Structure 1
């Protein structure tokens, strides 16, 4: 009887391991597609893919995180293309999934994306929204940094903010560059907790460090 119970336990463990491997494989396959996305449509399709994984893996925060990240990247491309009037839509979609992710785990990565989503909303009308969405973005960044001061993506976004903010509003390309260097140092020592945790951002830090100041 003990032998039978042991065999049954091993079967259960094997099935569980296979399920985890299947989840990680599906996630890794989609995560690797992030770099290939070039258009809002690409990121929308990827958000849909992560959403399908999230519907199956209801106890995992990472699929919800990547749905939100895909929407934020979609919005950032729209912002780059001058379509700022439309930024509320991807930002609000991202916030919906981040709220769900936060019920599973409260961590620095989730709050950093909330900061990025609020920043997108602010860019719809910076003068009018600086004291509302801009303030919320700053609050979320502070929470993200408090939860994990060593998070390299927090340092990266702080560098972006400093680099791209006009000098008359407190920005500085020189100080931004120094923050990109600090971010890179943190990336070089950063180790994700799982194979599907966020790792994005290092290439961006390296890019800005390589650019001459103008």
Structure 2
């Protein structure tokens, strides 16, 4: 409860500050702080609300729209785990809407293209048997394009590895297929390169978990 109150107070303060001075830098700093907190608490609602406000105030910047889309992907994942189909679809739609704005601004940005693949993967969550054939190739193509656009982007390799890890082996997936991508992602996460001052930094922890599982499965 105290954590929720703390996050809500931070959100209100961030809104007030952004509304007063209109500084993109201040708003993003507060948004990224909320996002970092959300990675621990798994409550992405406050961060999503702030990034939505920033993206509306700064429509020429792709970063807030990207982070907004990422927040909704995390919320979609939680809805999937709770078997809340309506909420899952709603968050996927909101993620896509935000990502469409980011793609319009920077269509060749590897981070955005990789996250588009993640949204396609999210569509599979809703109904794997129905949506897998449609969205799995789209996700793979997006991840491959993201890697082509920026070979140093760890999230592009991580998401491709995750996609393959959870794809049945008879469809070309499995731990063995995923392992090289997860290893390359780990090396790039270790290198610590960032996509600009306000670019994403997520993925390293879960990639390490998947990498260990893939290694164990292929021993």
With normalisation by structure 1, the TM-score equals: 0.79
1:87 aligned counterpart, secondary structure = helix
The match for 1:88 is 89
The match for 1:170 is 172
Q: Does 1:25 align with 2:26?
A: no
**Could you say which structure has the higher helix fraction?**
2
The match for 1:192 is 194
The match for 1:3 is none
User: CA 1:146 to 1:186, structure 2 compared with 1: closer, same or farther past 3 Å?
Assistant: same
Structure possessing the higher relative contact order (Cα contacts under 8 Å, 6 or more residues apart): 1
Runs of 4+ aligned structure 1 residues displaced above 6 Å come to: none
Between the aligned partners of 1:169 and 1:135, the Cα distance in structure 2 is 11
Q: Give the length in aligned residue pairs.
A: 194
Q: Does 1:34 align with 2:38?
A: yes
Aligned-residue offset at 1:45: 3.2
Between the aligned partners of 1:84 and 1:161, the Cα distance in structure 2 is 21
Which structure's CA Rg is the greater one? 1
Aligned-residue offset at 1:36: 2.4
User: CA 1:31 to 1:44, structure 2 compared with 1: closer, same or farther past 3 Å?
Assistant: closer
Matched-pair contact (CA < 8 Å) for 2:113–2:145: yes
After TM superposition, list the pairs within 5 Å mapping 1:75-114 onto structure 2.
75-84=76-85, 86-106=87-107, 107-114=109-116
Between the aligned partners of 1:93 and 1:139, the Cα distance in structure 2 is 22
- Structure 2 segments unaligned to the other structure (5+ residues): 1-21
With normalisation by structure 2, the TM-score equals: 0.78
- Structure 1 segments unaligned to the other structure (5+ residues): 1-17
Aligned-residue CA RMSD (Å):
2.3
2:197 aligned counterpart, secondary structure = coil
Q: Does 1:61 align with 2:62?
A: yes
